[in-house]
Every structure is written in structure tokens, then in C-alpha cells.
Amino acid sequence: MEGHYGYRRILKELWPMVLMLMVTSVYSIVDGWFISNYAGSTAFAAMNIIWPAVAIISALGLMVGAGGSALVSKNFGEGKTEQGNHTFTMLIRLTFVAGLVISAIFFAFMRPVAIKLGAEGAMIDYAVTYGRILTAALPIYMLQLALQPFCMTAGKPQLGTMTSIACGVTNIVLDALFVAGFGWGLTGAAIATAMSFVVGGAIPVAFFNSKRNYTPLHFIHDSPADWPSIRQSLTNGLSEFVGNISFNIIGICYNLQLMKYIGENGVSAYGVLMYVGFIFGSVFIGYNMGISQVISYKYGACDKLELRSLLRKSCVLIAIGGLVITALVELFAPQISRVFVGYDDELCNLTTYAMRIYMVSFLICGFTMFASAWFTALNNGPVSAVISFTRTLIFELGCVFLLPLVLGIDGIWLAVNVAEVLALILSAALVFGFRKRYGY
């Protein structure tokens, strides 16, 4: 990560991370496609009801990966390679142990959780079945999320890409076999996803523990708990944790509001919006995960000139990405809707209409997501968390409940756009306000 990063080098080194996240997002929605088309809208709605809860639990892995990789990259930039490897090993062990404990508790209380999240009638059993199967593999999934950013730290972004491709292929093949072939419906889709989780966690663990790992980053056997490093890593990754939890809490609230105003079709339509958001949002997430390692390294090396350059170039690339994504979604919204819910004309029309309103937010959200990642990379977790927290749990959550009172159903779809505008104003103020402290 030494030397200057121009546009060409940024794109060359970060595209594997972006591709990795896009592939991950694609295979994460394969279940939705198979369930919607082979098990029906009730099962599809049930899956969308319970998935946010599963994602909230798994967010611990994302927090460890984002915050820990920033600290380890900073250690490497300072020349403290052994300390970085010690922190890396300790954090991955912590993630797995915490995953086992949390997953066991979540498994036991899956039914009351499903009911609290809005599942009704036949949706309850569907949601419980899907959630419990995924929860059984959740500790491995948390390892996958934690290890993804470390692939960039190790200088092996292609490892994350290949892992994600392996997960995607596993999920798609098993979905086709279990759901379409054997007719196992929602249960088959859940088993397919759980097995892809196992693949995604096992590959990077095996690599970093292998004698063929010639990167600076590797597991070490003697790694006692270093609580200051744990605290620093978790603080660094707090914004990603808060952002992920907030995103899924928002999803839960959207589902509750949509059940109130529209019903089951509203939840299904929102599920499609989330899938499209996963795919295109992964472009920004992947970019942020990759560029954060470079920013942390330059920060550790006290290269202020390069920090300014990375900030400027990132804003340009994000603006271009937002324009392209928004144009694609607006143009192909009907076709995208038909892929998921083409069997129901009314639901398809509702989804297309909602998508064209909701996805305008991609003109803005890339900047607010990058602002949060920027402060994480600078090892300023609290400021990063403020951006993530206010963007979702204050701005968007408030809009989800307030705008429908004035605008009806359209207020639900417009909530994210209004929230992103407010978040952009806050993010710009914070980035500008801290420029002297960090010298960018």
C-alpha cells in the first residue's frame, strides 16, 4: 500500500473487493428468487420478515472485520507487523466464540422473535424454519464477514473475490437442487444458504492458517487477550456495526409500516427493493472496505498529502458510480421487478413504482457511506458511528413513521431519499470540521 494512488491504481486494486461484495450480494438474494418463484409470496414475505434479525446478529463479524482491519493496517503502516498479527488472531477467535453463544440464544427464541417482527398466520412457521437453519451456520458466516476486509490488508483481495464466488456457486447450485429439483421450498433454500456460509468461512480460515500463506498477515498460536486492542478494534468498527444494525432495524420498521398500510404485498415489494439495494449498494461497500485499508495505512505513515488525494478522488468516483447506478435502476425497474414477482401483475407494478422512487437515494448514499468509512479508517470510530446512527436510526426511522402521515404510502418509499439528504449535510460538516485535526 506504499506509493501514490491515482485513479488507475485505485480502480485496479479495489475492483476485486467491489466484485467480491457484489457476488456476495447476488448469492444472498438467490434464496429470495427461488422462494418467491417456487414457494410463493407468503414464504417470500416470511423470509423478508426474519432476515433482518439474522443480519443484526451477524453484524458483529462485520464490526470486527472493519474495525480490526483498520487497526491492523495502521499497525503495518507503523512497521508493527507482529502486533498486527497478534490482534488479527485474537479478533477472529473472539468472533467465533461470540457467534456460538449468540446463535444458541437466538435459535432458542426464534418463534417469539418472528411474531414480534410482524409474522402472522402461515408466515410464522416459515420464518421460524428459515431463521433456525441459518442460525445454525451463523458463527461461520460471522467469520466470513470478519475476514473479508483482512483479505485487503493481506494484499490478497482476490482471495475474498474467489471465496465469494465459491459461496455464490454453492448457494445457486444447491438452491436449484433443493428448491427447484427436490421441491423442499423455504427449507431447501435455508439449507443451501447455510452451506454457502460454511464455504465462505472455511476458505479464508484455511488460507490464513496455511503454510502457503506468504502474506504479512497470518494466524499466530500464542495470542492471549489484549483488551486495549479489542476495545480499539470494536470502537473502530462501531459505525459499521451500528450502520448494519440500523439498516436492519429500519427494514423491520418498513415491514411493520407496510403490513399496516398495504399488507403482505408491501413486504414482498420492499424485499425486492432490498435485493436491488444489496447489489448496487455493495459497489459502495466494497469500495469503502478496500480504500479504508489504504487510508489507514497512509494515516499510520503520516502521509497527509496522500490522504487529501484519496478523499478527493473517492468523491469523484462515488459521484460517477451513483449516477450510473441510478440511471440503470430507473431504466430497468420493470424488468427487475418481473424477475422476482412477475407471477403477480399487481405486485409487479407496485414494486416497479416503489423502486423508481426509492432508488433515487443512490445519488447521495455513496457519499454518506464513504464519510462513515473515512472516519473508521482514521481510527475515529465514534464520529463514524454518529454518521451511521443519525443516517438511519434518526433520519430514516423518523421519516418512515412521519412521512406516511402526510403523504400516505408514497411517504414510505420517499423516506430514504429525505434521510440521505439530511445525512449528507451532516457528513459534509463532519468531514470539513475535522480536516485540520487529520491534515487532509
The answer, yes or no, to whether residue 225 has pLDDT greater than 80, is no
Q: Is the dihedral of CA 307, 23, 58, 203 positive or negative?
A: negative
pLDDT at 80: 87
**pLDDT by residue (tens digit) across 371-412?**
998 998 888 878 988 898 898 889 999 999 999 999 989 999
Can you give the pTM of this predicted structure? 0.70
What is the average per-residue pLDDT within 152-162?
Answer: 82
Structure confidence at residue 5 as a pLDDT band (50, 70, 90): confident
Please give the Cα distance from 220 to 298 (Å, whole number). Answer: 26
Q: At CA 275, angle to CA 271 and CA 276, rounded to 5?
A: 120
Separation of alpha carbons 119 and 125, rounded Å: 9
Residue 221 buriedness (CB in 10 A; 0-12 / 13-18 / 19+): exposed
Choose the weakest-confidence range: 2-6, 140-144, 249-253: 2-6
pLDDT band at 28 (very low <50, low <70, confident <90, very high): low
CB 50 within 8 Å of CB 119:
yes
Report the SS3 class of residue 4: coil
Grid cell 503495518 is found at 76
**Pairwise CA distance, residues 396 & 253, whole Å:** 10
Per-residue pLDDT of 319-329, as tens digits, reads 999 999 999 99
Better-scored residue on pLDDT, 50 or 168: 50
Residue 101 pLDDT: 94
Instruction: Give the HSE-up count for residue 17: Cα atoms under 13 Å, Cβ half-sphere.
Output: 28
